[in-house]
């Protein structure tokens, strides 16, 4: 056996839940540890451990990501009422992704992995569409309240000297209702814009940004203006890279995306990014083929799969039934992290291994061996459906070739 590839700095490893926790171990045992002297700083973000540590483990893992600059995260359960019951939780802990994003700030970029035979539902989409989701604020950091008939809702702002500004939200006379207040910050919007312009230059792709500034004349309009100001700083680099920045109304963006051929970054406000990334991922094939990376303004990278913990498959697994869960996005989370570690630490061998593993994974699917989700999509004439572990073992064969 050849000597294992050495690492100098660790990757921050954030373990997770359910089926993806099983994939996680298989990927490490079968695809990584035999070839790499894997150096990680391990944090168990599985729900049991989050509950035992009052979620401190999530905060610690995010701070470690900040310190070491590269993290890889397994999908995790977001607690809800049913999970509180199932896991006997002390509290309904916040989503780890929300906690990590709040600590690292930055932007999430999601891109589909493309393989021959897996044809997007939108036939014109021949290149990946990378979605950049603003990872702070709006409805994800809102306050909301239910109002009774006869109550009046007002927005109140107090300045440093105690002066008050008041805006009427709604007078609920005759019927109760609901209200919600959202916010964002100049700093977060600016760092979102910077991440997007930088990533566009890095990957030499056009940048599109859509919001609803015609209706939201102050809130969304501020996003548009900040992007326009910051674009001035990148104009020269955009020109040199031969790429463009386009602002459009979100409705217009959706219409243009549908008839585009792909190959650009689509910057979205937080909620648009949440929703549109699921649409784009599904249209490109399987959620199991969507990668995700959080890029912080101070240069920390957190890689993960875009999908969740695949609960339905996990329950089948617990019943002793065979599963056929797609591990590709989780593999690419690992290769993304290892490539970045290699790039930052000057370890060409490590980056080359990660690229090899990506090619071997795609080759496996293009050779006709795949999990159930892809099997039903693949247009290849000769194809074989395999179980979760056999797919990962098949990659090893292609890795050795
Ligand atoms: P999900 O885990 O993404 O799975 C939804 C369905 O999509 C699956 O049942 C499966 O469809 C298909 N699927 C997703 N990933 C797949 C893969 N790798 N291989 C094959 N099929 C795949 O979403 P969910 O069931 O709504 O959520 C499950 C848990 O994950 C929840 O507790 C949620 O909070 C959490 N979650 C975590 C993250 C994260 O950590 N980033 C993101 C989203 C959700 P079939 O059943 O039809 O085979
Ligand atoms: Mg979503």
Q: Do domains 1-110+290-350 and 120-142+182-284 have the same CATH topology?
A: yes
* CATH 3.90.1200.10 holds for 1-110+290-350: no
Residue 298 confidence (pLDDT) above 80: no
Q: Which residues contact 260 (CB under 8 A, 6 or more apart)?
A: 124, 125, 129
d(CA 226, CA 56): 35
pLDDT of residue 277: 85
Average per-residue pLDDT in the chain? 95
Note whether 213 and 223 are within 8 A (CB): yes
Query: Whose C-alpha lies nearest to ligand 1, atom 34?
Result: 78
| Range with lowest mean pLDDT among 106-120, 157-171, 207-221, 361-375 | 106-120
Residue 297 confidence (pLDDT) above 80: no
Diameter over CA atoms, the chain: 78
Residue 219 confidence (pLDDT) above 90: yes
**Predicted TM-score of the model (pTM):** 0.86
Residue from 307, 315, 322 whose mutation best tests the ligand 1 pocket (most atoms within 8 A of CB): 307
Q: Count Cβ atoms below 10 Å from residue 192 Cβ, excluding itself.
A: 30
Write down the domain spans for the chain. Answer: 1-110+290-350, 120-142+182-284
Q: How far is the CA of 76 from the centre of ligand 1 (A)?
A: 10
42: which strand partners? 13
Q: How far is the CA of 189 from the centre of ligand 2 (A)?
A: 20
Would you say the CB of residue 326 lies under 6 angstroms from ligand 1?
yes
Which CATH superfamily, name and number, covers 120-142+182-284? Answer: Isopropylmalate Dehydrogenase (3.40.718.10)
Query: How does 27-44 read in b/e, with b if 16+ C-beta sit within 10 Å?
Result: bbeebbeebbebebbebb
Tokens matching residue 392: 């990962």
Would you say the CB of residue 311 lies under 6 angstroms from ligand 1?
yes
Percent of the chain at pLDDT exceeding 70: 100
pLDDT of residue 401: 60
Q: Which residues contact 217 (CB under 8 A, 6 or more apart)?
A: none
Nearest ligand to the C-alpha atom of residue 75:
1
Please count the CA atoms within 13 angstroms of the CA of 318 that sit on its side-chain side. 9
Return the ligand 1 atom nearest residue 306 CA: 41
* pLDDT band at 369; cut points 50, 70, 90: very high
Residue 284 confidence (pLDDT) above 90: no
Residue 100 confidence (pLDDT) above 70: yes
Note whether 332 and 113 are within 8 A (CB): yes
Residue 44 confidence (pLDDT) above 80: yes
* pLDDT band at 128; cut points 50, 70, 90: very high
d(CA 9, CA 345): 7
Residue from 16, 310, 365 whose mutation best tests the ligand 1 pocket (most atoms within 8 A of CB): 310
Query: Whose C-alpha lies nearest to ligand 1, atom 6?
Result: 310
* pLDDT band at 322; cut points 50, 70, 90: very high
């Amino acid at each position: 056996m050849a000597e294992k590839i050495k690492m100098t700095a660790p990757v921050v490893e954030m373990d997770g839940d359910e089926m993806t926790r099983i994939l996680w171990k298989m990927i490490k045992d079968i695809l990584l540890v035999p070839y790499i002297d894997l150096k990680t700083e391990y944090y168990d973000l599985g729900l049991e451990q989050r509950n035992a540590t009052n979620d401190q483990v999530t905060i610690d893992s995010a701070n470690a990501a900040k310190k070491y600059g590269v993290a890889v995260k397994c999908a995790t359960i977001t607690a809800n009422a049913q999970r509180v019951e199932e896991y006997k939780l002390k509290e309904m802990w916040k989503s780890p992704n929300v906690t990590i994003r709040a600590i690292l700030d930055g932007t999430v970029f999601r891109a589909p992995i493309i393989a021959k035979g897996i044809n997007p539902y939108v036939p014109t989409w021949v290149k990946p569409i990378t979605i950049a989701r603003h990872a702070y604020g709006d409805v994800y950091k809102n306050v909301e309240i239910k109002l009774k008939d006869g109550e009046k809702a007002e927005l109140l702002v107090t300045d440093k000297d105690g002066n008050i500004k008041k805006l009427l939200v709604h007078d609920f006379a005759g019927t109760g209702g609901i209200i919600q207040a959202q916010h964002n910050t100049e700093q977060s919007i600016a760092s979102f814009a910077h991440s997007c312009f930088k990533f566009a230059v890095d990957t030499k792709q056009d940048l599109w940004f859509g919001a609803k500034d015609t209706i939201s004349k102050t809130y969304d309009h501020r996003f548009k203006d900040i992007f326009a100001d910051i674009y001035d700083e990148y104009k020269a680099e955009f020109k040199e890279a031969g790429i463009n920045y386009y602002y459009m109304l979100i409705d217009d963006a959706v219409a243009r995306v549908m008839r585009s051929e792909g190959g650009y970054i689509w910057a979205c406000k937080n909620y648009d990014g949440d929703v549109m990334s699921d649409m784009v991922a599904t249209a490109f094939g399987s959620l199991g083929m969507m990668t995700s990376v959080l890029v912080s303004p101070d240069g920390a990278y957190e890689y993960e799969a875009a999908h969740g913990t695949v609960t339905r498959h996990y329950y089948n697994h617990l019943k002793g039934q065979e599963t056929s869960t797609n591990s590709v996005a989780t593999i690419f989370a690992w290769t993304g992290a290892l490539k970045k570690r290699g790039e930052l630490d000057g370890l060409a061998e490590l980056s080359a291994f990660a690229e090899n593993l990506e090619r071997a994974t795609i080759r496996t699917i293009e050779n006709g061996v795949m999990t159930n989700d892809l099997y039903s999509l693949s247009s290849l004439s000769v194809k074989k459906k395999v179980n979760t572990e056999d797919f990962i073992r098949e990659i090893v064969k292609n890795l050795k070739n």
